Structure 1
């Protein structure tokens, strides 16, 4: 689920919680109960979502609520295989990348059209990418993906070349996202604010926009004649559903109650307390871990006690990640094994480096002169071993997780002070660097998310000095799409972040949705957002 932390950075918004029972899937689609026979076309999917999308233009907004709508309206140049992470054709049938990953030439398939009947051609792709670049920070995800974008050149009607001012290996994966989904040239005759509300939001996807009533619902309908789906889709031709109603139901209990009573066909973001309602009875819960940055405490290495790497390493050793998933979450959650989630391409398993080791933590602190005070919190030269973490209560488990981590760290003599802020306040403090620790996660199915957040040339959330070894590793992984060359650099970056404790990884985000007995084929795409092309309703 996009932010700074979470929502403000536009990368993750919501936390879905996995049930201990029901059907789970790591990719593809979930199904309702029983043998419903072959998929049948027609019908309306009533889908309960946990928050208002605010803006449904996928080129602008980065929340799950928005992207789950936008993914159905737009196609992308490429797609990403959910299992392997490999980039595969979609609107582009093939592509070439120059040796330093600064130029990408795409050859487009024939026959794809936008909902207004115009062709998806090279000129349209240029207009769309130029339009995303012009949005600047309003393109919450695309602005980062296109940070080095210079221009697009129409080579011929089927061929477009996209040029960058710096090596941008990450762009190939970015081209598969809905945030860089292609809109028709006519869409840019409308203002960004108008497109946010669906006006002129013309894509080439399997569904088209019908209506948007803020804090109530978004309605999309089947695109007639659609026949250029991704190879990831389980069928070709038109979508099965005639209509999808995204009904905005923020209260988890109301959402699950509406699914249980048949008022909704599916919901997002099932909470642990509601899981027993879906223990059988034909209900299922598709589950998929999110790729990208796991939920973590990112340290500002220029602040207070966190300037000492030994202190940061002690904090990491003092966190019992398995206890977090066992106590606060569910068995379908994974304790972090790296700063990147295990579903991220080029993830490196650093479980040994992240093992719970309270004795080792205490030893590190004692070596640095931190001795237990009267209340158990360590003291050195009259200073308490303390740091503050800021977070936004974007989903219900944030505070419970942090309170447990706080208890764990007290056992090694570290005082973690928890401070809840509003999302705008957290964004402001993050951008200003006014924090000791920040708590967040970000979703992206590419290791370059590390560069976006930790490079001194980008987000620099740990406030490192330029020219450090992490910068070198992040630059190297950004320089080539050749996995054999990129993999060692991406692994080195993960190792440095963990070993230097720039980040204290805790657990992986998981998406879980509830499906009613008649609902089938609701699927995930590679970033664990929703894909409804194969969804259908049984009679």
Structure 2
């Protein structure tokens, strides 16, 4: 196992224990306090840099450098180095902790949150991070129009806040967000139209990071030639991302690499390396070979078959705690898939045990529902669909679909924590479906931008492979994001389920949420919009020179703590 000193952490991420913070968040009028030393703002070292270049291999290019228009882990890997949110996470966990907000209080009705902001923090363009900047960010998201509201661009804001000031889509609802007021330079109050128990935890999402309003305006982050232009490729999102984090953007050679430099004015623990390079290497074998040859210092999503060999060669292997779900999506916009018997037949056709042992990391367990067993609301008694080819064929015959043919869309050129090798996963599942009499038409698509745009942005798909690494420890971050409203990915409209999720996400305490989400998970697995497959265990690999890298189950890994021995 690698040596990752527990004391070499970003100071603000260690301010509260998970248990203490959970207790605070459970109160109807809550307050979270940062206990970070007053003099630690100068960071763990007296100046930025001094430690060489840390080269990390990513599995794909970022989709954008503006995280508010992204939903993918590779974009967020870069974003976490440049940007910060009001809320972060306790190191090594999915639990929320103060970050740019030192503390907050919640009104008894759960509709108003008042944040006390860390003072003396600046965006990297020299403009102040203050309450006005907080409100500018919330208003920016709330006031989006046209293509900016689409599911594949404003994925997180749309999923969490459910609507915009002027909804351009009939599927959107009354927005959760109501207003933001700057009460003082270091105090902002956010009002909601309805309670949302997961609001504080959700603010740890990179998509809700604080960005410089000045830089966005100067570099036209929301103005790229009209409402039909894609803001992911604006001047701001391509070359001028501006946050408060420990690193600054330097350059982006699309399809090749992103280069970051230390932020010399960072308010917290300053970076120990002189430079960070995030190099795009889509092929897993090529990533391993790059580490072995010394071209990179580390990479994520190590292929299960490579772990033992790398350890034997003296490389460091670290495993994240599984906090994800891999699933087979079933799009009910396809008429045949609207029949529950067909969806049940697909579920019975799949051998999850064989999939887990054949293509996923050692120790991976099959999933029974769309949340991991560590998340509140996990239900032990959901309906299950054991591998039974004969039963699958019987159900297809009863549905009048004995010779069913379906498009199966799957991604190429990418590895994800829940899906280390999509091509291998597709091959196993398509073979299992064929044994049950379901003919698969393979539709391979490049992950960025084609795959996600097809699956999330259009109804043009039958079956698809996708998954989710949880962003924070709340059931709404899984089942609420998946099934909280009508979407292109699933292609169904179920007011009963949507209503149950709306009610559950507004419950004021965790104790009230548990039975509500257990009932919802039973309901989901009865309706069977897709088939949850597994919660794989993601692995990272590093050279012997790397220290100070602390894995996070939600990938909240900020690299100012990393050192390279011998630099």
Q: Name the TM-score, length of structure 1 as normaliser.
A: 0.79
Gaps of 5+ in 1: 1-21, 31-37, 229-236, 371-377
TM-superposed deviation, 1:529: 4.6
Residue 440 (structure 1) aligns with: 466
1:330 aligns with 2:361: yes
Residue 70 (structure 1) aligns with: 79
- Helix, strand or coil at the partner of 2:77: helix
Gaps of 5+ in 2: 10-43, 163-174, 222-233, 416-420
Is the contact between residue 76 and residue 181 of structure 1 (CA under 8 Å) also seen in structure 2?
yes
Match for 1:206 among 246, 268, 281? 246
Residue 162 (structure 1) aligns with: 190
Q: Structure 2 vs 1, CA of residues 240 and 143 (structure 1 numbering), >3 Å: closer, same or farther?
A: farther
1:216 aligns with 2:256: yes
Residue 398 (structure 1) aligns with: 422
Is the contact between residue 128 and residue 185 of structure 1 (CA under 8 Å) also seen in structure 2?
yes
Q: Structure 1: how far apart are the matches of 2:251 and 2:426?
A: 39
Q: Structure 1: how far apart are the matches of 2:367 and 2:488?
A: 21
Q: Structure 2 vs 1, CA of residues 29 and 55 (structure 1 numbering), >3 Å: closer, same or farther?
A: farther
1:92 aligns with 2:118: no
Is the contact between residue 87 and residue 101 of structure 2 (CA under 8 Å) also seen in structure 1?
yes
TM-superposed deviation, 1:28: 11
Give the root-mean-square deviation of aligned CA atoms: 3.3
Q: Structure 2 vs 1, CA of residues 327 and 347 (structure 1 numbering), >3 Å: closer, same or farther?
A: farther
User: Counterparts in 2 of 1:73-472, with a 5 A limit?
Assistant: 73-81=82-90, 85-99=94-108, 101-134=110-143, 136-137=148-149, 138-147=153-162, 148=175, 149-188=177-216, 189-192=218-221, 193-199=234-240, 201-228=241-268, 237-272=269-304, 274-275=306-307, 277-289=309-321, 291-292=323-324, 294-301=325-332, 303-342=334-373, 345-346=375-376, 348=378, 350=380, 353-354=383-384, 356-358=386-388, 362-363=390-391, 366=394, 378=397, 383-385=402-404, 387-395=406-414, 397-411=421-435, 413-422=436-445, 424=450, 427-428=453-454, 430-445=456-471, 446-448=474-476, 449-455=478-484, 457-459=485-487, 461-468=489-496, 470-472=497-499
Residue 560 (structure 2) aligns with: 533
Is the contact between residue 289 and residue 509 of structure 1 (CA under 8 Å) also seen in structure 2?
no
Is the contact between residue 57 and residue 198 of structure 1 (CA under 8 Å) also seen in structure 2?
no
The structure with higher relative contact order (CA 8 Å, sep 6+) is 1
More helix by share: 2
Q: Structure 2: how far apart are the matches of 1:272 and 1:183?
A: 37
TM-superposed deviation, 1:122: 0.6
Q: Structure 2 vs 1, CA of residues 23 and 321 (structure 1 numbering), >3 Å: closer, same or farther?
A: farther
- Helix, strand or coil at the partner of 1:297: strand
Is the contact between residue 341 and residue 347 of structure 1 (CA under 8 Å) also seen in structure 2?
no
Is the contact between residue 24 and residue 286 of structure 1 (CA under 8 Å) also seen in structure 2?
no
Q: Structure 1: how far apart are the matches of 2:76 and 2:458?
A: 27
- Helix, strand or coil at the partner of 2:62: coil
Q: Structure 1: how far apart are the matches of 2:519 and 2:271?
A: 43
Q: Deviations over 1:308-350 (max 9, x none)?
A: 334423432332212101012230433223212345x325154
**422-431 or 310-319, larger mean C-alpha shift:** 422-431
Q: Structure 2: how far apart are the matches of 1:84 and 1:444?
A: 11
- Helix, strand or coil at the partner of 1:75: coil
Pairs aligned (count): 485
Q: Structure 2 vs 1, CA of residues 264 and 410 (structure 1 numbering), >3 Å: closer, same or farther?
A: closer
- Helix, strand or coil at the partner of 1:325: helix
- Helix, strand or coil at the partner of 2:356: helix
TM-superposed deviation, 1:416: 4.7
Is the contact between residue 29 and residue 520 of structure 1 (CA under 8 Å) also seen in structure 2?
no
